[in-house]
Structure 1
Amino acid sequence: MYLDRIRLFIQSGQYTEMKQLENELSCLRDRIMKYQEMAGLERIVWRKQGVVGYFTRVHLYEEDKASLFDFFHNSGLLPYVVNIQWAKLLPEEQLQLEGLVTKREGYVRFWPKKTKSLFVKKSNSDVANSLQAGILDLVSEWRVLKWKYDRVEKQWTTLRREALREWGERDRKIQLPSGSLSVVRLQPQIKAGTLLKHLDRSTLLRSGTVNYDKVIEFAAKGYFNKVDIDKYRKIKDISIRYILMELQNEIKKHEYFNRRLNSLSEMSRQM
Protein backbone atom coordinates (compact mmCIF):
# COMPACT_ATOMS: atom_id res chain seq x y z
CA MET A 1 0.00 0.00 0.00
CA TYR A 2 2.69 2.51 0.98
CA LEU A 3 4.89 1.44 -1.93
CA ASP A 4 1.99 2.36 -4.23
CA ARG A 5 1.59 5.69 -2.44
CA ILE A 6 5.31 6.47 -2.72
CA ARG A 7 5.12 5.72 -6.45
CA LEU A 8 2.17 8.10 -6.72
CA PHE A 9 4.04 10.78 -4.75
CA ILE A 10 6.87 10.63 -7.31
CA GLN A 11 4.85 10.19 -10.49
CA SER A 12 2.33 12.93 -9.60
CA GLY A 13 5.13 15.50 -9.43
CA GLN A 14 5.15 16.00 -5.64
CA TYR A 15 8.76 14.82 -5.38
CA THR A 16 9.83 17.31 -8.06
CA GLU A 17 7.90 20.04 -6.24
CA MET A 18 9.71 19.17 -2.99
CA LYS A 19 13.15 19.33 -4.64
CA GLN A 20 12.31 22.62 -6.33
CA LEU A 21 11.20 24.07 -2.99
CA GLU A 22 14.46 22.83 -1.48
CA ASN A 23 16.48 24.62 -4.16
CA GLU A 24 14.44 27.82 -3.84
CA LEU A 25 14.95 27.81 -0.07
CA SER A 26 18.69 27.36 -0.56
CA CYS A 27 18.82 30.30 -2.96
CA LEU A 28 16.78 32.52 -0.63
CA ARG A 29 18.99 31.55 2.30
CA ASP A 30 22.08 32.55 0.30
CA ARG A 31 20.54 35.92 -0.56
CA ILE A 32 19.55 36.63 3.03
CA MET A 33 23.00 35.60 4.24
CA LYS A 34 24.58 37.94 1.66
CA TYR A 35 22.46 40.82 2.97
CA GLN A 36 23.48 40.07 6.54
CA GLU A 37 27.15 39.90 5.56
CA MET A 38 26.88 43.29 3.83
CA ALA A 39 25.10 44.71 6.88
CA GLY A 40 27.91 43.44 9.12
CA LEU A 41 25.48 42.00 11.66
CA GLU A 42 26.17 38.70 13.41
CA ARG A 43 22.50 38.20 14.31
CA ILE A 44 19.21 39.60 12.99
CA VAL A 45 15.72 38.84 14.27
CA TRP A 46 12.81 39.57 11.93
CA ARG A 47 10.05 39.41 14.54
CA LYS A 48 7.11 40.13 12.24
CA GLN A 49 8.17 37.25 9.99
CA GLY A 50 9.15 35.04 12.96
CA VAL A 51 12.61 34.34 11.52
CA VAL A 52 16.15 34.67 12.90
CA GLY A 53 19.46 34.58 11.04
CA TYR A 54 22.87 34.36 12.70
CA PHE A 55 26.49 33.41 12.09
CA THR A 56 28.07 30.85 14.37
CA ARG A 57 31.62 29.58 14.74
CA VAL A 58 32.27 25.86 14.35
CA HIS A 59 35.49 24.53 15.89
CA LEU A 60 37.34 21.71 14.16
CA TYR A 61 39.55 19.83 16.61
CA GLU A 62 42.67 17.77 16.14
CA GLU A 63 42.92 15.10 18.84
CA ASP A 64 45.62 12.81 20.14
CA LYS A 65 43.38 9.79 19.86
CA ALA A 66 45.80 7.24 21.33
CA SER A 67 46.44 9.37 24.42
CA LEU A 68 42.72 10.04 24.86
CA PHE A 69 41.97 6.32 24.73
CA ASP A 70 44.74 5.67 27.27
CA PHE A 71 43.28 8.32 29.57
CA PHE A 72 39.78 6.84 29.40
CA HIS A 73 41.17 3.32 29.82
CA ASN A 74 43.02 4.35 32.99
CA SER A 75 39.80 5.99 34.22
CA GLY A 76 37.86 2.79 33.57
CA LEU A 77 35.55 4.63 31.18
CA LEU A 78 36.81 3.54 27.77
CA PRO A 79 33.87 1.25 26.90
CA TYR A 80 31.38 3.98 27.85
CA VAL A 81 32.70 6.96 25.87
CA VAL A 82 33.60 5.35 22.53
CA ASN A 83 31.36 4.72 19.51
CA ILE A 84 32.37 2.05 17.01
CA GLN A 85 32.40 2.72 13.26
CA TRP A 86 31.47 -0.63 11.75
CA ALA A 87 32.93 0.22 8.34
CA LYS A 88 36.41 0.61 9.88
CA LEU A 89 36.46 -2.98 11.13
CA LEU A 90 38.22 -5.56 8.97
CA PRO A 91 35.98 -8.12 7.19
CA GLU A 92 37.19 -10.94 9.45
CA GLU A 93 36.48 -8.77 12.52
CA GLN A 94 32.96 -8.01 11.29
CA LEU A 95 32.39 -11.73 10.76
CA GLN A 96 33.54 -12.49 14.31
CA LEU A 97 31.20 -9.86 15.79
CA GLU A 98 28.27 -10.45 13.45
CA GLY A 99 26.10 -12.22 16.02
CA LEU A 100 26.63 -9.50 18.65
CA VAL A 101 25.48 -6.43 16.74
CA THR A 102 22.32 -4.36 16.89
CA LYS A 103 20.80 -4.06 13.43
CA ARG A 104 19.59 -0.71 12.15
CA GLU A 105 16.55 -0.32 9.99
CA GLY A 106 17.81 1.58 6.94
CA TYR A 107 15.67 3.75 4.68
CA VAL A 108 14.03 3.85 1.27
CA ARG A 109 15.78 6.12 -1.21
CA PHE A 110 14.65 7.46 -4.55
CA TRP A 111 17.34 7.73 -7.25
CA PRO A 112 15.93 10.17 -9.82
CA LYS A 113 17.04 10.43 -13.40
CA LYS A 114 18.80 13.78 -13.22
CA THR A 115 17.22 16.56 -15.21
CA LYS A 116 18.06 20.22 -15.42
CA SER A 117 14.57 21.24 -14.32
CA LEU A 118 14.84 19.20 -11.10
CA PHE A 119 18.23 20.36 -9.86
CA VAL A 120 18.53 23.88 -11.32
CA LYS A 121 19.76 26.67 -9.05
CA LYS A 122 19.67 30.38 -9.72
CA SER A 123 22.78 32.24 -10.81
CA ASN A 124 24.78 34.85 -8.89
CA SER A 125 23.18 37.57 -11.02
CA ASP A 126 19.75 36.42 -9.81
CA VAL A 127 21.05 36.72 -6.23
CA ALA A 128 22.32 40.26 -6.81
CA ASN A 129 19.04 41.37 -8.41
CA SER A 130 16.88 39.85 -5.70
CA LEU A 131 18.81 41.71 -2.99
CA GLN A 132 17.28 44.87 -4.38
CA ALA A 133 13.80 43.46 -3.82
CA GLY A 134 14.02 44.19 -0.08
CA ILE A 135 15.17 41.98 2.74
CA LEU A 136 11.73 41.80 4.39
CA ASP A 137 10.21 40.41 1.19
CA LEU A 138 12.98 37.81 0.98
CA VAL A 139 12.53 36.70 4.58
CA SER A 140 8.74 36.54 4.19
CA GLU A 141 9.10 34.45 1.04
CA TRP A 142 11.57 32.12 2.79
CA ARG A 143 9.12 31.61 5.68
CA VAL A 144 6.20 30.78 3.37
CA LEU A 145 8.27 28.36 1.27
CA LYS A 146 9.68 26.76 4.44
CA TRP A 147 6.14 25.96 5.61
CA LYS A 148 5.32 24.42 2.24
CA TYR A 149 8.56 22.44 2.15
CA ASP A 150 8.19 21.14 5.72
CA ARG A 151 4.68 19.90 4.97
CA VAL A 152 5.60 17.99 1.80
CA GLU A 153 8.91 16.75 3.25
CA LYS A 154 7.11 15.35 6.30
CA GLN A 155 4.73 13.49 3.99
CA TRP A 156 7.69 12.10 2.01
CA THR A 157 9.47 10.97 5.18
CA THR A 158 6.35 9.20 6.47
CA LEU A 159 5.83 7.39 3.16
CA ARG A 160 9.44 6.19 3.07
CA ARG A 161 9.28 4.97 6.67
CA GLU A 162 6.07 3.03 6.11
CA ALA A 163 7.23 1.70 2.73
CA LEU A 164 10.32 0.25 4.40
CA ARG A 165 8.11 -2.05 6.48
CA GLU A 166 6.49 -3.39 3.32
CA TRP A 167 9.89 -3.79 1.66
CA GLY A 168 11.16 -6.26 4.25
CA GLU A 169 14.59 -7.85 3.88
CA ARG A 170 14.45 -8.17 0.10
CA ASP A 171 17.30 -6.51 -1.78
CA ARG A 172 15.62 -5.29 -4.89
CA LYS A 173 15.24 -2.15 -6.95
CA ILE A 174 11.92 -0.82 -8.18
CA GLN A 175 12.17 0.89 -11.56
CA LEU A 176 10.00 3.93 -12.25
CA PRO A 177 9.75 6.11 -15.37
CA SER A 178 11.58 8.94 -13.56
CA GLY A 179 14.16 6.87 -11.64
CA SER A 180 14.33 3.96 -9.21
CA LEU A 181 13.60 3.09 -5.58
CA SER A 182 15.88 0.99 -3.39
CA VAL A 183 16.65 0.39 0.27
CA VAL A 184 19.85 1.76 1.79
CA ARG A 185 20.96 -0.61 4.54
CA LEU A 186 22.62 1.14 7.49
CA GLN A 187 25.71 -0.25 9.17
CA PRO A 188 24.97 -2.26 12.34
CA GLN A 189 25.94 -0.98 15.78
CA ILE A 190 28.08 -2.66 18.41
CA LYS A 191 29.04 -1.44 21.86
CA ALA A 192 32.69 -0.75 22.59
CA GLY A 193 32.54 -2.97 25.69
CA THR A 194 31.28 -5.90 23.61
CA LEU A 195 34.04 -5.40 21.06
CA LEU A 196 36.70 -5.36 23.80
CA LYS A 197 35.52 -8.75 25.07
CA HIS A 198 36.37 -10.34 21.73
CA LEU A 199 39.04 -8.11 20.14
CA ASP A 200 41.94 -6.02 21.43
CA ARG A 201 42.37 -2.31 22.12
CA SER A 202 44.21 -1.74 18.83
CA THR A 203 40.97 -2.63 17.01
CA LEU A 204 39.07 -0.21 19.23
CA LEU A 205 41.59 2.52 18.50
CA ARG A 206 41.26 1.99 14.76
CA SER A 207 37.48 1.81 14.63
CA GLY A 208 36.38 3.93 17.59
CA THR A 209 35.54 7.61 17.96
CA VAL A 210 35.09 9.54 21.19
CA ASN A 211 31.48 10.40 22.07
CA TYR A 212 31.96 13.85 23.61
CA ASP A 213 28.36 14.04 24.83
CA LYS A 214 29.15 11.08 27.08
CA VAL A 215 32.49 12.65 28.04
CA ILE A 216 30.69 15.81 29.21
CA GLU A 217 28.31 13.71 31.31
CA PHE A 218 31.15 11.88 33.06
CA ALA A 219 32.96 15.17 33.64
CA ALA A 220 29.78 16.57 35.23
CA LYS A 221 29.64 13.51 37.48
CA GLY A 222 33.15 14.34 38.71
CA TYR A 223 35.11 11.48 37.13
CA PHE A 224 37.60 13.98 35.68
CA ASN A 225 37.92 17.66 34.81
CA LYS A 226 37.37 19.04 31.34
CA VAL A 227 40.94 20.43 31.37
CA ASP A 228 42.16 16.84 31.56
CA ILE A 229 40.59 16.22 28.15
CA ASP A 230 41.61 19.55 26.63
CA LYS A 231 45.27 18.49 26.94
CA TYR A 232 44.67 15.98 24.16
CA ARG A 233 42.65 18.26 21.88
CA LYS A 234 43.53 21.45 20.09
CA ILE A 235 41.61 23.66 17.68
CA LYS A 236 42.74 22.93 14.14
CA ASP A 237 40.41 25.31 12.32
CA ILE A 238 37.38 27.56 12.83
CA SER A 239 34.70 27.81 10.19
CA ILE A 240 31.77 30.22 10.03
CA ARG A 241 28.29 28.77 9.50
CA TYR A 242 25.14 30.72 8.72
CA ILE A 243 21.90 29.59 10.37
CA LEU A 244 18.47 30.71 9.18
CA MET A 245 15.50 29.32 11.10
CA GLU A 246 12.06 30.09 12.42
CA LEU A 247 12.19 31.96 15.71
CA GLN A 248 10.03 29.39 17.49
CA ASN A 249 12.51 26.64 16.53
CA GLU A 250 15.39 28.65 17.98
CA ILE A 251 13.41 29.01 21.21
CA LYS A 252 12.90 25.23 21.31
CA LYS A 253 16.63 24.75 20.65
CA HIS A 254 17.54 27.00 23.59
CA GLU A 255 15.04 25.20 25.81
CA TYR A 256 16.68 21.88 24.93
CA PHE A 257 20.16 23.18 25.75
CA ASN A 258 18.91 24.66 29.02
CA ARG A 259 17.42 21.29 29.98
CA ARG A 260 20.73 19.68 29.06
CA LEU A 261 22.67 22.15 31.22
CA ASN A 262 20.27 21.65 34.14
CA SER A 263 20.69 17.90 33.81
CA LEU A 264 24.48 18.21 33.88
CA SER A 265 24.28 20.55 36.88
CA GLU A 266 22.10 18.03 38.70
CA MET A 267 24.65 15.29 37.96
CA SER A 268 27.38 17.51 39.38
CA ARG A 269 25.40 18.25 42.58
CA GLN A 270 24.80 14.55 43.20
CA MET A 271 28.53 13.83 43.43
Structure 2
Amino acid sequence: MKLTAEDIATQLVENGVYETYKMAEKYLKLIKGQFQERLHSHESRRIEFPEHSLVAKFVPKRKFQTDHLSLNHYLYNIGLLPAVVQIKATKDQPQLAKALEAFQLKDEYYVRPNLKLKNTINQDLPWNTSLENQSINELAFWFNKFYRTCKQNEDLYNAVKNKILRFFICNEIEKMDFKYGSFSLLKRQPAYDSCKIFNNLGAEFLIRHGSVSSEKIQNYILKGLLSESEMNQYRTVTDIHLTFYLLPLEIERQMSQRFQANLIAASLNRGRI
Protein backbone atom coordinates (compact mmCIF):
# COMPACT_ATOMS: atom_id res chain seq x y z
CA MET A 1 0.00 0.00 0.00
CA LYS A 2 1.31 3.43 -0.96
CA LEU A 3 2.07 5.62 2.02
CA THR A 4 0.47 9.05 2.32
CA ALA A 5 2.30 12.16 3.54
CA GLU A 6 0.56 11.72 6.89
CA ASP A 7 1.82 8.12 7.14
CA ILE A 8 5.39 9.23 6.37
CA ALA A 9 5.25 12.10 8.87
CA THR A 10 3.79 9.86 11.59
CA GLN A 11 6.56 7.28 11.08
CA LEU A 12 9.14 10.07 11.34
CA VAL A 13 7.97 10.88 14.86
CA GLU A 14 7.00 7.41 16.08
CA ASN A 15 10.28 5.86 14.92
CA GLY A 16 12.12 8.47 16.97
CA VAL A 17 14.04 9.94 14.01
CA TYR A 18 12.99 13.54 14.55
CA GLU A 19 13.44 13.56 18.32
CA THR A 20 16.77 11.71 18.16
CA TYR A 21 18.04 14.21 15.59
CA LYS A 22 16.94 17.22 17.65
CA MET A 23 18.33 15.70 20.85
CA ALA A 24 21.73 15.04 19.27
CA GLU A 25 21.76 18.52 17.71
CA LYS A 26 21.10 20.07 21.13
CA TYR A 27 23.79 18.00 22.86
CA LEU A 28 26.36 18.81 20.16
CA LYS A 29 25.74 22.51 20.65
CA LEU A 30 26.26 22.22 24.41
CA ILE A 31 29.41 20.12 24.06
CA LYS A 32 30.82 22.46 21.41
CA GLY A 33 30.18 25.37 23.76
CA GLN A 34 32.25 23.66 26.46
CA PHE A 35 35.14 23.10 24.05
CA GLN A 36 35.02 26.73 22.91
CA GLU A 37 34.98 28.04 26.48
CA ARG A 38 37.94 25.89 27.53
CA LEU A 39 40.05 26.54 24.42
CA HIS A 40 39.41 30.24 23.76
CA SER A 41 42.67 31.25 25.46
CA HIS A 42 44.72 28.42 23.91
CA GLU A 43 47.97 29.56 22.26
CA SER A 44 47.03 27.83 19.01
CA ARG A 45 44.01 28.50 16.80
CA ARG A 46 43.96 24.85 15.74
CA ILE A 47 44.03 22.05 18.33
CA GLU A 48 43.97 18.37 17.38
CA PHE A 49 42.66 15.54 19.53
CA PRO A 50 44.16 12.60 17.58
CA GLU A 51 42.98 9.95 20.03
CA HIS A 52 39.42 11.02 19.22
CA SER A 53 40.05 11.96 15.55
CA LEU A 54 38.76 15.47 16.26
CA VAL A 55 40.01 18.97 15.56
CA ALA A 56 38.96 22.25 17.15
CA LYS A 57 39.84 25.52 15.47
CA PHE A 58 39.18 29.23 15.59
CA VAL A 59 38.87 30.59 12.05
CA PRO A 60 38.96 34.34 11.31
CA LYS A 61 35.92 35.49 9.32
CA ARG A 62 35.93 38.84 7.57
CA LYS A 63 32.83 40.99 7.23
CA PHE A 64 32.77 43.22 4.16
CA GLN A 65 31.01 46.35 3.03
CA THR A 66 30.65 46.17 -0.76
CA ASP A 67 30.36 49.04 -3.20
CA HIS A 68 27.71 47.22 -5.25
CA LEU A 69 27.22 49.93 -7.86
CA SER A 70 30.93 50.21 -8.72
CA LEU A 71 31.35 46.43 -8.67
CA ASN A 72 28.39 45.97 -11.01
CA HIS A 73 29.85 48.57 -13.42
CA TYR A 74 33.15 46.66 -13.38
CA LEU A 75 31.41 43.33 -14.02
CA TYR A 76 29.53 44.92 -16.91
CA ASN A 77 32.77 46.25 -18.43
CA ILE A 78 34.35 42.78 -18.41
CA GLY A 79 31.19 41.13 -19.77
CA LEU A 80 30.14 39.13 -16.70
CA LEU A 81 27.33 41.23 -15.22
CA PRO A 82 24.24 39.17 -16.18
CA ALA A 83 26.04 35.91 -15.42
CA VAL A 84 26.91 36.69 -11.80
CA VAL A 85 24.27 39.06 -10.42
CA GLN A 86 20.83 38.41 -9.01
CA ILE A 87 17.89 40.66 -8.20
CA LYS A 88 15.66 40.36 -5.14
CA ALA A 89 12.44 42.32 -4.78
CA THR A 90 11.30 42.75 -1.17
CA LYS A 91 7.74 43.38 -0.01
CA ASP A 92 8.43 47.11 0.29
CA GLN A 93 9.44 47.28 -3.40
CA PRO A 94 6.13 46.60 -5.22
CA GLN A 95 7.13 48.58 -8.32
CA LEU A 96 10.34 46.61 -8.73
CA ALA A 97 8.46 43.34 -8.21
CA LYS A 98 5.98 44.37 -10.90
CA ALA A 99 8.76 45.18 -13.37
CA LEU A 100 10.34 41.77 -12.76
CA GLU A 101 7.19 39.63 -13.08
CA ALA A 102 7.85 38.69 -16.70
CA PHE A 103 11.34 37.42 -15.81
CA GLN A 104 10.47 35.30 -12.78
CA LEU A 105 11.85 31.77 -12.79
CA LYS A 106 9.82 28.72 -11.81
CA ASP A 107 8.65 28.83 -8.18
CA GLU A 108 10.59 26.74 -5.67
CA TYR A 109 9.09 25.37 -2.47
CA TYR A 110 10.09 23.81 0.83
CA VAL A 111 8.21 22.29 3.76
CA ARG A 112 8.35 23.62 7.31
CA PRO A 113 7.52 21.24 10.17
CA ASN A 114 5.90 22.17 13.45
CA LEU A 115 6.25 18.96 15.43
CA LYS A 116 5.69 17.96 19.04
CA LEU A 117 8.41 15.86 20.61
CA LYS A 118 7.35 12.54 22.10
CA ASN A 119 9.89 12.85 24.97
CA THR A 120 10.66 9.12 24.90
CA ILE A 121 14.42 9.44 24.39
CA ASN A 122 16.63 8.67 27.40
CA GLN A 123 17.64 12.08 28.77
CA ASP A 124 20.35 10.84 31.16
CA LEU A 125 23.03 9.92 28.61
CA PRO A 126 25.99 12.21 29.32
CA TRP A 127 24.52 14.38 32.02
CA ASN A 128 24.87 12.16 35.09
CA THR A 129 27.91 14.38 35.57
CA SER A 130 27.44 17.98 34.44
CA LEU A 131 29.29 19.02 31.30
CA GLU A 132 31.32 21.55 33.25
CA ASN A 133 32.78 18.71 35.36
CA GLN A 134 33.60 16.38 32.50
CA SER A 135 37.10 16.15 31.05
CA ILE A 136 37.96 17.09 27.47
CA ASN A 137 38.37 13.39 26.70
CA GLU A 138 34.89 12.64 28.02
CA LEU A 139 33.42 15.52 26.04
CA ALA A 140 35.22 14.35 22.89
CA PHE A 141 33.79 10.85 23.34
CA TRP A 142 30.24 12.20 23.62
CA PHE A 143 30.77 14.61 20.72
CA ASN A 144 31.74 11.75 18.40
CA LYS A 145 28.79 9.67 19.57
CA PHE A 146 26.24 12.43 19.03
CA TYR A 147 27.87 13.64 15.80
CA ARG A 148 27.26 10.25 14.19
CA THR A 149 23.74 10.09 15.62
CA CYS A 150 22.95 13.60 14.41
CA LYS A 151 24.21 13.03 10.86
CA GLN A 152 22.45 9.69 10.46
CA ASN A 153 19.10 11.00 11.62
CA GLU A 154 19.50 14.33 9.81
CA ASP A 155 19.82 12.41 6.53
CA LEU A 156 16.67 10.41 7.33
CA TYR A 157 14.83 13.57 8.38
CA ASN A 158 15.75 15.39 5.16
CA ALA A 159 14.70 12.40 3.07
CA VAL A 160 11.28 12.45 4.77
CA LYS A 161 10.89 16.19 4.19
CA ASN A 162 11.68 15.71 0.49
CA LYS A 163 9.05 12.95 0.20
CA ILE A 164 6.44 15.14 1.89
CA LEU A 165 7.43 18.09 -0.32
CA ARG A 166 6.90 16.02 -3.49
CA PHE A 167 3.56 14.75 -2.16
CA PHE A 168 2.40 18.30 -1.37
CA ILE A 169 3.38 19.63 -4.81
CA CYS A 170 1.84 16.70 -6.71
CA ASN A 171 -1.42 16.90 -4.75
CA GLU A 172 -1.54 20.72 -4.41
CA ILE A 173 -1.57 20.59 -0.60
CA GLU A 174 -0.52 23.67 1.38
CA LYS A 175 -0.74 22.31 4.93
CA MET A 176 -1.19 18.97 6.61
CA ASP A 177 -2.20 18.56 10.25
CA PHE A 178 -1.63 15.23 11.96
CA LYS A 179 -1.50 13.97 15.54
CA TYR A 180 2.10 15.06 16.14
CA GLY A 181 1.85 18.57 14.66
CA SER A 182 1.83 19.83 11.10
CA PHE A 183 3.81 20.36 7.90
CA SER A 184 3.34 23.51 5.79
CA LEU A 185 4.29 24.17 2.17
CA LEU A 186 6.13 27.47 1.75
CA LYS A 187 7.34 29.28 -1.34
CA ARG A 188 10.91 30.47 -1.54
CA GLN A 189 11.69 34.08 -2.43
CA PRO A 190 11.18 34.59 -6.18
CA ALA A 191 14.26 34.32 -8.40
CA TYR A 192 14.63 36.09 -11.75
CA ASP A 193 16.42 35.48 -15.04
CA SER A 194 19.23 38.04 -15.04
CA CYS A 195 20.18 37.43 -18.68
CA LYS A 196 16.63 38.14 -19.88
CA ILE A 197 16.46 41.22 -17.66
CA PHE A 198 19.74 42.43 -19.17
CA ASN A 199 18.48 41.86 -22.72
CA ASN A 200 15.04 43.43 -22.18
CA LEU A 201 15.49 46.13 -19.54
CA GLY A 202 19.11 46.99 -20.21
CA ALA A 203 22.41 46.98 -18.38
CA GLU A 204 21.67 50.07 -16.28
CA PHE A 205 18.62 48.39 -14.70
CA LEU A 206 20.72 45.38 -13.72
CA ILE A 207 23.58 47.56 -12.46
CA ARG A 208 21.21 49.61 -10.30
CA HIS A 209 19.17 46.76 -8.80
CA GLY A 210 21.46 43.72 -8.96
CA SER A 211 23.79 42.27 -6.35
CA VAL A 212 26.49 39.68 -6.93
CA SER A 213 25.89 36.03 -6.15
CA SER A 214 28.82 34.76 -4.07
CA GLU A 215 28.35 31.27 -5.46
CA LYS A 216 28.43 32.44 -9.09
CA ILE A 217 31.40 34.72 -8.43
CA GLN A 218 33.27 31.76 -6.92
CA ASN A 219 32.56 29.67 -10.02
CA TYR A 220 34.13 32.33 -12.24
CA ILE A 221 37.13 32.59 -9.92
CA LEU A 222 37.59 28.82 -10.32
CA LYS A 223 37.36 29.22 -14.09
CA GLY A 224 40.17 31.77 -13.92
CA LEU A 225 38.00 34.60 -15.27
CA LEU A 226 38.00 36.56 -11.99
CA SER A 227 40.31 36.83 -9.00
CA GLU A 228 39.85 37.63 -5.33
CA SER A 229 42.06 40.71 -5.75
CA GLU A 230 39.68 42.08 -8.40
CA MET A 231 36.73 41.61 -6.07
CA ASN A 232 38.59 43.16 -3.13
CA GLN A 233 38.90 46.46 -5.00
CA TYR A 234 35.20 46.96 -4.28
CA ARG A 235 35.06 45.52 -0.76
CA THR A 236 36.13 47.04 2.54
CA VAL A 237 36.72 44.88 5.60
CA THR A 238 34.53 46.22 8.40
CA ASP A 239 35.05 43.50 11.00
CA ILE A 240 37.01 40.31 11.67
CA HIS A 241 35.78 37.79 14.21
CA LEU A 242 36.81 34.27 15.13
CA THR A 243 34.36 31.46 14.38
CA PHE A 244 34.78 28.25 16.37
CA TYR A 245 34.58 24.85 14.67
CA LEU A 246 34.70 21.36 16.18
CA LEU A 247 34.66 18.53 13.66
CA PRO A 248 36.12 15.12 12.80
CA LEU A 249 39.62 15.20 11.31
CA GLU A 250 38.38 13.28 8.27
CA ILE A 251 35.82 15.97 7.51
CA GLU A 252 38.50 18.65 7.80
CA ARG A 253 40.76 16.64 5.48
CA GLN A 254 38.02 16.38 2.86
CA MET A 255 37.33 20.11 3.08
CA SER A 256 41.04 20.88 2.73
CA GLN A 257 41.35 18.63 -0.32
CA ARG A 258 38.42 20.36 -2.02
CA PHE A 259 39.88 23.77 -1.22
CA GLN A 260 43.32 22.83 -2.60
CA ALA A 261 41.73 21.32 -5.73
CA ASN A 262 39.82 24.56 -6.29
CA LEU A 263 42.99 26.63 -5.90
CA ILE A 264 44.84 24.46 -8.41
CA ALA A 265 41.92 24.59 -10.87
CA ALA A 266 41.72 28.39 -10.62
CA SER A 267 45.47 28.75 -11.13
CA LEU A 268 45.50 26.43 -14.16
CA ASN A 269 42.50 28.16 -15.70
CA ARG A 270 44.08 31.61 -15.28
CA GLY A 271 47.20 30.27 -17.01
CA ARG A 272 45.16 29.27 -20.07
CA ILE A 273 43.61 32.73 -20.52
TM-score range, shorter chain: 0.7 to 0.9
Counterpart for residue 175 of structure 1 = 177
Counterpart for residue 238 of structure 1 = 240
CA distance in 1, matches of 2:92, 2:197: 11
CA distance in 1, matches of 2:201, 2:144: 52
Moved more, 203-212 or 142-151: 203-212
Moved more, 247-256 or 199-208: 199-208
Counterpart for residue 261 of structure 2 = 259
**How many positions carry a matched residue from both structures?**
262
Change (3 A) 1:213 1:149: closer
Counterpart for residue 133 of structure 1 = 134
Unmatched segments (≥5 aa) in structure 1 = 119-125
Deviation by residue 1:86-114 (Cα, 9 ceiling, x = unmatched)? 54794455455445443254222211359
Moved more, 177-186 or 47-56: 177-186
* Aligned partner of residue 198 in structure 2, secondary structure: helix
CA distance in 1, matches of 2:28, 2:240: 26
Change (3 A) 1:198 1:89: farther
Counterpart for residue 23 of structure 1 = 26
Are the aligned partners of 1:67 and 1:232 in contact in 2 as well (CA < 8 Å)?
A: yes
CA distance in 1, matches of 2:173, 2:261: 42
**What code does the residue aligned with 1:6 have?**
A
Are the aligned partners of 2:72 and 2:210 in contact in 1 as well (CA < 8 Å)?
A: no
Are the aligned partners of 1:88 and 1:206 in contact in 2 as well (CA < 8 Å)?
A: no
Are the aligned partners of 1:86 and 1:207 in contact in 2 as well (CA < 8 Å)?
A: no
Shift of 1:253: 0.4
**What code does the residue aligned with 1:179 have?**
G
Change (3 A) 1:248 1:183: same
Instruction: Say whether 1:67 aligns with 2:70.
Output: yes
Alignment map for 1:1-271 (pairs within 5 Å)? 1=3, 3=5, 4-87=7-90, 90-91=93-94, 93-95=96-98, 97-98=100-101, 100-112=103-115, 129-168=130-169, 170-201=172-203, 203-205=205-207, 207-215=209-217, 218=220, 226-271=228-273
CA RMSD of aligned residues (A): 3.0
* Aligned partner of residue 266 in structure 2, secondary structure: helix
Shift of 1:150: 0.8
Moved more, 156-165 or 100-109: 100-109
* Aligned partner of residue 54 in structure 1, secondary structure: strand
Change (3 A) 1:219 1:18: closer
Are the aligned partners of 2:198 and 2:206 in contact in 1 as well (CA < 8 Å)?
A: yes
Deviation by residue 1:51-93 (Cα, 9 ceiling, x = unmatched)? 1110001101011111111122222221122123354794455
CA distance in 2, matches of 1:19, 1:104: 30
**What code does the residue aligned with 2:242 have?**
I
CA distance in 2, matches of 1:139, 1:220: 36
Moved more, 13-22 or 233-242: 13-22
Are the aligned partners of 2:222 and 2:265 in contact in 1 as well (CA < 8 Å)?
A: no
Identity %: 23
Counterpart for residue 123 of structure 2 = none
Shift of 1:167: 1.4
